Amino acid sequence: MAIPYDTRSMPFDEFMKECDKCCTRRFGLGIEDMPDANWRDYHEDGLSPYWAVKTADEDYWQIESDWL
């Protein structure tokens, strides 16, 4: 379960850039290189980019990692 962090006031494109940075730092790949995830929903739910990437990993990617 992801923890909300209200980013709804952050423009969606800025949210996506921050998610991409977080994903790249962790996996060495940007979000465009990963399987699709519900980024719009994560943004509208107010998740931080960190939690959005963590949730995408849990929901879609399931990459074994000890980073989170």
Task: Check whether 11 has a pLDDT greater than 90.
Answer: yes
Taking the whole predicted model, whether its pTM rises above 0.75 is answered as: yes
What confidence score (pLDDT) does residue 53 get?
A: 95
What confidence score (pLDDT) does residue 62 get?
A: 82
pLDDT per position as a tens digit, 24-67: 999 999 999 999 999 999 999 999 999 999 999 999 988 766 55
Cβ-based neighbours of 56, under 8 Å, separated by 6 or more: 23, 31, 34, 37, 38, 39, 42
Domain boundaries along the sequence of the chain: 12-61
Q: How far is it, in rounded angstroms, from Cα 31 to Cα 57?
A: 11
- Containing H/E element for 43? helix 39-44
What confidence score (pLDDT) does residue 8 get?
A: 67
Task: Check whether 7 has a pLDDT greater than 80.
Answer: no
